[in-house]
Amino acid sequence: MGTQYLIDSNIIIDFFNGKLPFPGRQLLSRVELVISVITYIELFSSNNIAIEEYQQLKRFADMTTVHPVNLSIAAETITIRKKYKIKPPDAVIAATAIVHNFTLITRNVSDFKLIDNLKSINPYEV
């Protein structure tokens, strides 16, 4: 099996706002749509989301595989939080990628670059 990817919320938002460059859009069109439950929460927790945007995100979310937090991800999140100065949501996303051997697609590579065993790709640089 080839590389599998976990998509960060900033990439989804950039895609829907038309900011993701063509190579990044191409990358997304070729991968299975997989997100963390944290990304799902981040996508829908804005109070200022327009109905049209909500509907687009809902259709997108309905096509994705959403990975919940289980004990393996929780344990890896704890390890990451103890070793690195990283926000809990980002730690859960990183842990999800590590536990499932996903490559994280994110534009915030600086948030994740020091984490051992985490593979990431910036679609702005492909």
Q: What is the tens place of the pLDDT at every residue in 6-29?
A: 999 999 999 999 999 999 999 999
pTM confidence score: 0.93
Query: What burial class does residue 89 get, using C-beta atoms within 10 Å of its C-beta: 0-12 exposed, 13-18 middle, 19+ buried?
Result: middle
11: helix, strand or coil: helix
Tell me what pLDDT residue 44 has: 92
- Average pLDDT for 72-76: 98
Residue 1 has pLDDT above 70, yes or no: no
- Average pLDDT for 72-83: 97
Residue 36 has pLDDT above 90, yes or no: yes
Residue 85 structure tokens? 């100065």
Give the Cα separation of 59 and 39 in Å (integer).
15
Give the Cα separation of 118 and 75 in Å (integer).
15
Strands (E), 1-124: 5-7, 34-36, 65-67, 103-105, 119-121
Ordered structural domains, the chain, with CATH: 5-121 (3.40.50.1010)
